Amino acid sequence: MKKNVQEVMSPPPPHMVGDGFRVHNYIPGLVSMPRMNPFIMMDYNSPHYFPPSETPPGVGVHPHRGFETVTIAYQGKVSHHDSAGNSGTIGEGEVQWMTAASGVLHKEYHEREFAKNGGVFQMVQLWVNLPAKDKMSPPRYQALTRADIQTVELESGNGKVEIIAGEFNGVKGPAKTFSPVTLMNAFLPENGTVSFTFPQHDHTAFVIISGKVKINATEIASANQLVIFHDDGEEISISAIEESVVLILNGEPIPEPIAAYGPFVMNTREEIIQAYQDFQLGKFGQLED
Ligand code: MN
């Protein structure tokens, strides 16, 4: 059975996160947290030119608790530092997978050399929810580089699929996750096609990173649009009208209440209040701006 398109959405007006991320907020702006759970936030920085800067633009020290932040770079380079002592830089086609869990302070900014030269920046940041039992586990950081990300070449010149998390055609992506999550990029030449099968009741979305595609032979989506799917089937097909890159997200919903406020996503209001108290008491550690 086909998994039908529910809606093709155009990006809402952008806003700045710090001075380094010019983002369209798809989740929870246009699509609610429960609707796309376990994907509870999606900021999409559509291609945007940042001028040369001696001070790397970005967002200063801030806390998170209760989920993971996943940053996928398409153009430009992103650096990260956190209070658990982890840091790293990712470039085009790479991913930072930061598990805040019990709590970290972190800062996110353009890599110094990229900032110095300026350039077009394009990335996706997701918040991936954690099951209640894992929300207070220790923080973790995964820098998923080109060497880690797995590639499946599609037959007869249809392009390729890069797997960040989950599995496609028997090939597993490198990301360690706490609940079933699939994150992949499909790179399709003009007329290239690929099909995916996901469990019917999972939450599924595409971001069209570039190009223009036909989905299930009927719906058309083009660069910077978000596509969300009904839970009425398992199979989705894509055919590229022009050379395209598509980010594919699929996740099993976590069947627990969501209490979200600012940088914290927990299960109850009491846990949110606790998070603010712990943050004010310095329990998230130390990090210099
Ligand atoms: Mn953050």
Centroid of ligand 1 to alpha carbon of 243 (angstroms): 32
Centroid of ligand 1 to alpha carbon of 71 (angstroms): 10
Residue owning tokens 């009208």: 241
Centroid of ligand 1 to alpha carbon of 104 (angstroms): 9
List, edge to edge, every strand of the sheet that includes 39-50: 15-17, 21-27, 39-50, 119-129, 67-75, 95-99, 140-144
Chain-wide mean pLDDT for the chain? 97
Centroid of ligand 1 to alpha carbon of 4 (angstroms): 33
Q: Are 57 and 50 in contact (CB under 8 A)?
A: yes
> Distance between CA 166 and CA 172 in Å, rounded?
6
List Cβ neighbours of 14 (8 Å cut-off, separation of 6 or more).
Answer: 22, 23, 24, 46, 48
> Distance between CA 168 and CA 32 in Å, rounded?
27
Render each residue's pLDDT in the chain as its tens digit; 289 residues.
Answer: 999 999 999 999 999 999 999 999 999 999 999 999 999 999 999 999 999 999 999 999 999 999 999 999 999 999 999 999 999 999 999 999 999 999 999 999 999 999 999 999 999 999 999 999 999 999 999 999 999 999 999 998 999 999 999 999 999 999 999 999 999 999 999 999 999 999 999 999 999 999 999 999 999 999 999 999 999 999 999 999 999 999 999 999 999 999 999 999 999 999 999 999 999 999 999 998 8
User: At 270, phi and psi to the nearest 5?
Assistant: -60, -40
The pLDDT tens digits of the residues spanning 23-35 come to: 999 999 999 999 9
Total-model pTM:
0.97
Centroid of ligand 1 to alpha carbon of 80 (angstroms): 9
> Distance between CA 15 and CA 59 in Å, rounded?
13
Handedness of CA 162, 164, 168, 171 (dihedral sign): positive
Class of CATH domain 5-251: mainly beta
Token output for 171: 């090939």
Centroid of ligand 1 to alpha carbon of 82 (angstroms): 10
